[in-house]
Amino acid sequence: MSKIFFGVMALLFLSLLSTVNSPLKEDHIVQLAIQTVKGQADLPEEVQVRVVERRESPIPDFDMVKLLVVNKDGEVPIVVYVDRSAEKVILGDLFIKGENITLKETGDPRISKIGSKFLEAEKASLSY
């Protein structure tokens, strides 16, 4: 009798563990990305935001969420970086070693590489 009880308890525990880490967290990350884009861009109600893809980001402990903002004039791809705890969001271009990873991911045909001379600390000057 006690073996059956422990067996049932083990099955319940395993089923509980499998539901805790799965789609709820994933949906929360995607929803956070969508809400951030809608809030920052001040999009009207008729504009749709669709999820294209969610995968691991080049930034450690962040996921990359590719979204497509669709309105009557066309579609605009947007990449949002969300940390796995769903507390931090990065919205903007990500450059790694002079290459614009965000433009590469969105498929933007513009130049996505900065010349190496621009990235040299001694010669680079940024003004605001």
* CATH classification at residue 86: 3.10.450.630
Q: Is residue 108 part of a domain?
A: no
Q: Is residue 46 part of a domain?
A: yes
Q: How many domains does the chain have?
A: 1
Q: Is residue 107 part of a domain?
A: no
Q: Name the residue range of residue 64's domain.
A: 2-92
pTM exceeding the 0.85 threshold for the entire prediction: no
Q: In Å, what is the CA distance from 117 to each residue of 94, 106, 121, 124?
A: 19, 25, 9, 8
Tell me: pLDDT of 47 over 60. yes
Phi, psi of 12 (to 5 degrees): -65, -40
Q: Check residue 19 and give its pLDDT.
A: 46
Which pLDDT band holds residue 114 (cuts at 50, 70, 90)?
very low
Q: List, in sequence order, every residue forming a beta bridge with 90; answer none if it has no partner.
A: 81
Tell me: pLDDT of 125 over 70. no
Q: Is residue 123 part of a domain?
A: no
* Rounded Cα–Cα distance for residues 65 and 34 (Å): 9
Q: How crowded is residue 57: how many other Cβ atoms within 10 Å of its Cβ?
A: 21
Sign of CA dihedral 68, 112, 127, 94: positive
